[in-house]
Structure 1
Amino acid sequence: MEQRIESYRDLKVWQSAMILAEDCYRVTKEFPKDEIYGMTSQMRRSVVSIAANIAEGYGRENRGSFVQFLRMAQGSLKELETHVLLACRVGLLRKDNEIELLLRCEEIGKMMRSLIRTVQAKQAE
């Protein structure tokens, strides 16, 4: 039996994006202070944008708009992945944290693609 979605907060993809945001905030706390306006800020802004775009799209109450915002969330996810890769390359992020964050990004990406297909199918009905 499927759980009824009453709010964007019920969406598993939004919940996962929030956990990813918490994880990013945790690992960026370890970054040097001189990165506060650099990589720390970039990673935090892109990760917050993922959950925020999912919520905003859901709030539009229009399937076309929802898909558009899910695609923006996908873009933010790819932006975050790039920041994670670079942060590890330049020694700001430990390899184990890189792996953990990238796996979570991959999982969220799959969830978003699936949700987009579902919303588009309902839109076509």
Structure 2
Amino acid sequence: MADSYQNLDVYKLSMKFAYDVYQIVSTFPDFEKFGLSSQLRRAVISVPSNIAEGSGRQYNKEFVQFLFLAKGSLREAMTQLELSKMFGYVDEETFIQIKDQANRLHKMLNRLISRLKKPGG
């Protein structure tokens, strides 16, 4: 699976998620540049990065560990997006759309983890 991570649907969606969040963050106030904006950007970049890095590992067990890290980064990003909504930086419609995307991504990560944990996965 090492050379095919870019073909994984979960990777493709994680890249879209990161791109979409970057678009949202670009509208945040300037004073958040080194605060919430920076943290959120790091969190969303971590999701596809962990998928890619894990896929390059020798064993599925190692890949699964990186997928769990990706899930953690996804949860971190969603918490920061919730805060962004509370602070008035993200409107309700945008938040619902990005939350739906994150939920789909979370389910895809879970399915891939389950598949890799099966014998011969």
Q: 1:74 maps to which residue?
A: 71
Distance 1:38 1:47 in 2: 15
**Is residue 98 of structure 2 the alignment partner of residue 108 of structure 1?**
no
What is the identity percentage for the equivalent residue pairs of Structure 1 and Structure 2?
Answer: 36
Instruction: State the shift of 1:6 in Å.
Output: 4.6
> What are the ranges of 5 or more consecutive residues in structure 1 without an aligned counterpart?
none
Distance 2:2 2:20 in 1: 25
Distance 2:115 2:67 in 1: 12
Distance 2:42 2:26 in 1: 14
**Is residue 6 of structure 2 the alignment partner of residue 17 of structure 1?**
no
Alignment of 1:31-70 (within 5 A): 31-70=28-67
Distance 1:107 1:5 in 2: 23
Query: Which range moved further: 41-50 or 91-100?
Result: 91-100
| Segments of 4+ moved more than 2 angstroms | none
- Partner SS state of residue 12, structure 2: helix
Residue 38 of structure 1 aligns with an amino acid whose one-letter code is G
Distance 1:60 1:5 in 2: 7
Count of residues in correspondence between the two structures: 121
> What are the ranges of 5 or more consecutive residues in structure 2 without an aligned counterpart?
none
**Is residue 82 of structure 2 the alignment partner of residue 85 of structure 1?**
yes
Give the superposed CA RMSD.
Answer: 1.6
Instruction: State the shift of 1:122 in Å.
Output: 3.4
The two structures have a TM-score, normalised by structure 2, of 0.95
